[in-house]
Homo-oligomer: A and B are copies of this chain.
Amino acid sequence: MKMTEGGVCAAKGFTAGGVHCGIRKNKLKRDLSLIYSEFPANAAAVYTTNLVKGAPLKITKENLEDGRAQAIICNSGIANTCVAGGEATAREMSVLTAKALGIDEKDVVVASTGVIGQPLDIAPIREGLPSLVKSLGKSSSEAAEGIMTTDTRKKEVAVKFTVGGVECSIGGIAKGSGMIHPNMATMLVFITTDCAISSEALRRALSSDVAETFNMISIDGDTSTNDMVVVLANGAAGNEEIVSEGEDFSEFMKALNTVTVELCRRIAADGEGATKLLECKVDGASSLDCAKTVAKSVVCSSLTKSAMFGSDANWGRVLCAIGYSGAKVDPEKIDVSFRSAAGDILVCEGGAGVGFSEDKAKKILSEEEIEILVSLNDGEYSSTAWGCDLTYDYVKINGDYRT
C-alpha cells in the first residue's frame, strides 16, 4: 500500500468538480461540489445519530436503499436543516443533478453543510449545475474546496493497494471544522474506490471502520445534524469482486482505514480555531469499550484542551477526564506521558505525579502534533481518539457564526 495523489479522483472512473454557484456571498469560495462515477457504483453510508437530521440525509438514505449510487452533490453555506420544505429542496437537488448527468435520480447522494435554520435556495444550484458538470475532471481539489465551511485546509487523501494481484485505489475528501463529535457517523466524508466490492461487504467494512476512526474524533462535543460518510466503489480496477471476509476484504479494510485515519487526523488538526492536533492513545484497558471511552473523554475535556493550547503539562486535567469518563478504571494504576516530535516525558505514574522538567514538557507541548499516552495497566485493549486544542479563535468563530 502506498499514499498517492488525487483524493476522490485517484480511483479509476471517478471525476470531480466544484464551482461557486452563489449560495455564499464570497465569489472566491466554491460552494457546490460534484463527484461522479462513469459507471453505477456500489455504495454504503453512515449518518449522524442526532435526532435533528438535515433534510439531505433523508433523501440520501432513500436513494441508497438499493446499495447503488453514481454521483454525489454537495453544497456548503446552508445546511438545509430545520426548515420547512427542506426535503423537497433536497429531492430537487438530486433530480436536477441526475438530469444534468443523464443518470437515474435514485443514484444521487445529496449533502449540505452550513447554517442551520435558513432555507436553501435551489435557484443558484439549478443555474450552477451546467458549469459544475463541465468542471468535472481528474482533480479532486475543487470538490474538496466546495464542501469546506470554516475549514482552513482542504482534506484529500488517497492510497494504492493490491487485491487479488490487481492494483486498486481508494481516496477521500472531508469537511470538518466545527460541530464535530460524531456518533455512529460523522462530518461529511466522501470516499471513492475502483475496487470491486459488493454493497453488503462495503457496508460491513465502513461500519466497522467508522467505529474506530470518525467516531473517535471530537472537536467540540457537538454532534452535527448533517454528518455523513459515503463510500462509492465502482469496480473499475477489475479485481474479482469482494463479497465476504477474507484476505481481499482485509486488504480493502487496511486501505480504507489508512485513508480514514489520515482524514481523521486532518479533520482534528483543522478543528475550528485549533492550533494543535491531539491524539490520545490509551493502552492496557480491560475492554475495547473502556479504551475508547477513556480516549474520547480526554480529547473532549475542555480543560485538557485549554491546557494543551497553553502548552501546559497539567496532567491532572487528563486524570480528571479519565475519572469521569464512565469507564471502569483503577485510578491508582494509571500512567500518563506526553509525546511529540520534540520528545516524550512521563508526568504521572500509578495515579500520582512524578517529578519532571517543566521546561522539557513545555517544549514537547509546543509542537503542532501532541500525543497524550495513557496506560491503564489493567488489561490488553487499546484505542486512539483525535481532537484539538481549545483556543480563543474557536470562541471567536462561533460567537458570530452566522454573519
Which residues on A are within 8 Å of B, measured CB to CB? Answer: 48-53, 79, 81-84, 115-118, 178-179, 181, 183, 220-225, 300-303, 306-307, 309-310, 312, 314-317, 319-324, 328-329, 331, 348, 351-353, 390-392, 394-403
Chain A binding site: helix, strand, loop or mixed by DSSP? Answer: loop
A352 touches B83 (CB 8 A): yes
How many copies of this chain does the complex contain?
Answer: 2
Known: A310-B400, A323-B225. A316 touches B116 (CB 8 A): yes
**Closest CB in chain B relative to A4 CB, distance in Å:** 36
A398 touches B115 (CB 8 A): no
Instruction: Report the bound CA distance from A50 to B320 in whole Å.
Output: 7
Residues of B within 8 A of A321 (CB): 222
Residues of B within 8 A of A352 (CB): 82-84, 117
Known: A82-B351, A303-B220, A303-B222. A116 touches B399 (CB 8 A): no
Instruction: Report the bound CA distance from A320 to B222 in whole Å.
Output: 8
23 intermolecular pairs with C-beta atoms under 8 Å apart: A48-B324, A49-B324, A50-B324, A51-B323, A51-B328, A52-B320, A52-B323, A82-B331, A82-B353, A84-B352, A115-B314, A116-B314, A116-B317, A183-B324, A221-B301, A222-B301, A222-B317, A223-B324, A303-B401, A307-B399, A312-B401, A392-B396, A394-B395
> 3 closest Cβ contacts across the A-B interface?
A116-B316, A310-B399, A52-B323
